[in-house]
Amino acid sequence: NAGVTQTPKFRVLKTGQSMTLLCAQDMNHEYMYWYRQDPGMGLRLIHYSVGEGTTAKGEVPDGYNVSRLKKQNFLLGLESAAPSQTSVYFCASSYQQGSQPQHFGDGTRLSIL
Amino acid sequence: AQKVTQAQTEISVVEKEDVTLDCVYETRDTTYYLFWYKQPPSGELVFLIRRNSFDEQNEISGRYSWNFQKSTSSFNFTITASQVVDSAVYFCALSEEGVAGNMLTFGGGTRLMVKP
């Protein structure tokens, strides 16, 4: 049971470089989310998707783009990385009902130099 | 305005002590859900419990118990007879029925250190 898998687990980028974080879930969940975790601030929602082909902005979307071409995958892109985007990124997925908990991946630690 | 507040940023206890982690939330929805997640030093987020706004019954699971009080907008978490393995960051989170996408709003977390 893989659950939610994030790739890669660690990455170091230089300012201005681009990269894509991949999230895959095998639970047939409709909803998927990308969060960032910074010290003392809990997790903040970047973007989310309520189904294949849909995306929406969360609390802190600037500097990121997302795509959900397949139900099981949710990609997070940084077009031009900035040091302020140094963070731990978590992907999550859930069933449609609000009562259902979100299941999280193990996180991606990203450093921008 | 912050919707979920965990006022205790860090708590340190000695093993076998009881400890309560506070969570205060703010919402205008009548239907909402509250969650607790645990983040051990290894970094993953582990779901602990969910409560809906219509169920104020307290819950006990082993050494863990949760006290949900709508009158004070609080959802506190108590660990009885703490153990070193309980050392982690604990997050309280809120999901509001009226908000699209069932987004979670997290508190800032409480770091619990249990010393042997």
pLDDT at B21: 98
Q: What is the pLDDT of residue B1?
A: 52
Best to test chain A binding among B25, B45, B53, B89 (most A CBs inside 10 Å)? B45
> How many whole angstroms from its chain centre is CA A111?
15
Residue of A nearest to B90 (CA): A42
Share of chain B above pLDDT 90, in %: 79
Interface check for B103 against chain A (CB to CB < 8 A): the answer is yes
- A91 or B103, which is more confident? A91
Mark B79-113 as b/e (b = at least 16 C-beta within 10 Å): beebeeebbbbbbbbbbbbeeebbbbbbbbbbebe
Tell me which DSSP letter residue A34 carries. E
Cβ separation A99–B50 shorter than 8 A: yes
A37-46 pLDDT tens trace: 998 778 999 9
Distance of CA A54 to the CA centre of its chain: 14
Q: Which residues of A touch B (CB under 8 A)?
A: 31, 33, 40-45, 48, 50, 56, 58, 88, 90, 92, 94, 96-107
Cross-chain Cβ contact A33/B103 below 8 Å: yes
Q: In Å, how far are A44, A48, A67 from A60, measured between CA atoms?
A: 7, 11, 16
pLDDT digits (tens, 9 = 90+) for A88-110: 999 999 987 777 889 999 999 99
Chain A residues with beta carbon closer than 8 angstroms to that of B95: 98
In the prediction, which pLDDT does B2 show? 59
pLDDT band at B55 (very low <50, low <70, confident <90, very high): confident
* Interchain proximity B101–A104, CB inside 8 Å: no
